[in-house]
Amino acid sequence: MAQLLSPLPGTFYRASAPDKPPFKADGDAVAVGDVIGLIEVMKSFHEVRADVAGTSIRFVAENEEPVMAGAVLAEVG
């Protein structure tokens, strides 16, 4: 199981806007380069991209959860 980590501290968002579907849902397949969420730092949004591929993703971090750099956002299997 590979872990996808937060590249920087901030707030983790699983979708681009509250009224939009999440980039990925638990159980979705993931390819290298897929956007899995956003980290917001002082009103600036940074895409979080998968650096591994897998058949199933499981999110560890909740939507709108504050995270630290290096925190596990999701696991890919």
| Domain residue limits at 56 | 2-76
Q: Measuring CA to CA, how many Å separate 46 from each of 1, 54, 55, 77?
A: 24, 22, 24, 24
Which positions ≥6 away from 44 have C-beta within 8 Å? Answer: none
pLDDT of residue 55: 97
DSSP 26: T
| pTM summary value | 0.94
pLDDT of residue 21: 97
* Confidence category of residue 62, pLDDT binned at 50, 70, 90: very high
pLDDT in tens, 36-56: 999 999 999 999 999 999 999
**Tally of CA atoms within 13 A in the half-sphere of 7 that contains its CB:** 14
Question: CATH code at 16?
Answer: 2.40.50.100
Q: How many domains does the chain have?
A: 1
pLDDT in tens, 4-47: 999 999 999 999 999 999 999 999 999 999 999 999 999 999 99
